Structure 1
């Protein structure tokens, strides 16, 4: 599966970046939340119990970040490859089939016109498959790995967990209200930033009353009526999916890449996790706090002079010249490319990124 797949997964951590969850989570009840008056803490705490859930469903993701339209040629999009994929994912809706049998067995199928992308995990074995490119990747995880690889696929749980991390004194959390998602009764809570310096208006989470499974997550930009990013189930059936769904064998003519991560955790411990906290030089640094957090990648990350004609043209159409570089501000997130190759991003206005770069 391409790195660009379900790109909002990359944006969401920036949008909901913040400090560790407030004590309300630590003090939350572990009882079922099907009662008549649960607290927001009860609803949030119930998400943890859904890790062993078994279900099949259809998931719809939509993004409307207000990106400018780009010209298309007579043969379709004038952009090809990952650039076209990224823009399509940010400006239109996509549907995936999801099959989950607890924490170690998952399958996600993203179907496009005449093509399909799959992520299949069965214990420590993970496969990704792109039918259009006829490419497969086989990843072997550490045997005690609790989570699968970060492949870019966004689910309501992803955004829910990231939003929970942003519950701090900078956020107002509403009382739960009852909603229905994909035919299931759910409690919905709304997180609203107290700061006016962020582009985020609200994050809404709908959680199944019986199972704690996040059913829908919506991020709304400040001053906007329609969601900027929404991921949610349109159909959902509980119960163990067929075991065959978690077995994958690539076609004989597929190009297969092998990645063995089984010793990765051992190697990390042996090296002291890079002295725990030390940076390799290409990792992001963060400034600000809560919803106003800004991530910065170091100088040389993007060399605009070395970009090809297509990438340069795309950059020119998506961004505008600002002091010290080029930038784009969508309804929900801003990105600033400095002349020295740094990249700054956050759910803040471009002016905040420019100021942080000085």
Structure 2
């Protein structure tokens, strides 16, 4: 991650991961849910079987988060431009091609105006490519490691982070039949019981035959219109061509290599015991939809967004002064930047983050 784009990069995963405020689902085997009247538990459990799915498809992502509209590359400086490009992925609709051959082979192609971004995973090798910057990053993952996030989000990304919040913090509706991208699906609605979260509900449409999440819609509390939605507009099952998972950087590209094969994959964020901050990793407090994530001081470079003499300062455009720092509150998630360099985020109001920082 480039430090110049840290604020939008903090927002991006939280919109879909922090916004639904739940750990990754612990999958269990399940049978298909086609041809019967399934329970919500049946539909939720069927998501597990889609991890080995093979398919190609096109995704459409839209959002209405209440963020200021900044055009891609706005600001006149490379720092401002990089951050605005990332922010544009949150504020502007876009489409992506997705190719998946089981859990260890994926390719996501995000095409923008005169540019393309790719994330290609083939086993433990992951390549990211930005044609605009002509930069490539090669990452060697640890065993069972997750690939870096692509420029877009899949319905499965949202589903697997929402489902584990079902009990006791969530009410789940009875499934209803819908069609998405030409496929029959069961749709369930997850509604938080918490009064503190800004998330009103999450709707998941799951393929009746395969358990693959086909569409995910997140509504803000008190709103009937989606704040975030991602779903397939076309989807074909079957193994994609093997060549799609091979990547060679073009001649002249700037290539960065990161070997994470020896990284400790046994743990992630600390849950408030203070040890994670010493290692520069996030600390998590709260649970379910009210989870707050803290990044320790020094994790991000907030000075990079201050702008230069020719820039208006993206930090000032995105945030407003609050007690002890600056903050931005979207319809689904808030981010609080303390004066001492820490960053707090969650699907809760800014006031909750300010209280958590004290």
**CA offsets 1:173-197 (integer angstroms, 9 cap, x no match):** 1011111000000001000011221
What is the TM-score normalised by the length of structure 2? 0.86
Residue in 1 that maps onto 2:347: 347
Choose 1 or 2 for highest CA Rg. 1
Deviation at 1:228, TM superposition (A): 1.1
Residue in 2 that maps onto 1:287: 285
- Is 1:227 the equivalent of 2:231? no
- Is 1:77 the equivalent of 2:68? no
Residue in 2 that maps onto 1:59: 59
CA distance in 2, matches of 1:194, 1:240: 40
Q: Structure 2: any 5+ residue segments left out of the alignment?
A: none
CA distance in 1, matches of 2:270, 2:60: 41
Aligned partner of residue 129 in structure 1, secondary structure: strand
Deviation at 1:6, TM superposition (A): 11
CA distance in 1, matches of 2:304, 2:97: 39
- Is 1:135 the equivalent of 2:163? no
**Would the aligned equivalents of 1:8 and 1:229 in 2 still touch at CA under 8 Å?**
no
Number of aligned positions between the proteins: 346
Moved more, 309-318 or 124-133: 309-318
Residue in 2 that maps onto 1:318: 318
Deviation at 1:339, TM superposition (A): 1.8
CA distance in 2, matches of 1:38, 1:231: 24
**Would the aligned equivalents of 2:73 and 2:82 in 1 still touch at CA under 8 Å?**
no
Residue in 1 that maps onto 2:296: 298
CA distance in 1, matches of 2:304, 2:75: 20
**Would the aligned equivalents of 2:336 and 2:343 in 1 still touch at CA under 8 Å?**
yes
Aligned partner of residue 133 in structure 2, secondary structure: coil
**CA offsets 1:45-100 (integer angstroms, 9 cap, x no match):** 11111111111100111121011345x7xx97225432111221121111110111
Q: Structure 1: any 5+ residue segments left out of the alignment?
A: none
**Would the aligned equivalents of 1:65 and 1:228 in 2 still touch at CA under 8 Å?**
yes
Distance 1:264 1:295, change over 3 A: closer
**Would the aligned equivalents of 1:18 and 1:168 in 2 still touch at CA under 8 Å?**
no
**Would the aligned equivalents of 2:62 and 2:229 in 1 still touch at CA under 8 Å?**
yes
Aligned partner of residue 165 in structure 2, secondary structure: coil
**Would the aligned equivalents of 2:306 and 2:315 in 1 still touch at CA under 8 Å?**
no
Aligned partner of residue 38 in structure 2, secondary structure: coil
**CA offsets 1:278-301 (integer angstroms, 9 cap, x no match):** 425222222222211112223455
**Would the aligned equivalents of 2:73 and 2:81 in 1 still touch at CA under 8 Å?**
no
Deviation at 1:31, TM superposition (A): 2.2
CA distance in 1, matches of 2:342, 2:231: 34
What is the TM-score normalised by the length of structure 1? 0.86
CA distance in 1, matches of 2:301, 2:339: 8
**CA offsets 1:157-210 (integer angstroms, 9 cap, x no match):** 111000012112121110111110000000010000112211000001110000
CA distance in 2, matches of 1:308, 1:146: 34
Distance 1:78 1:165, change over 3 A: same
- Give RMSD over aligned pairs: 3.1
**Would the aligned equivalents of 1:321 and 1:327 in 2 still touch at CA under 8 Å?**
yes
Aligned partner of residue 264 in structure 1, secondary structure: coil
Residue in 2 that maps onto 1:183: 182
CA distance in 2, matches of 1:45, 1:12: 20
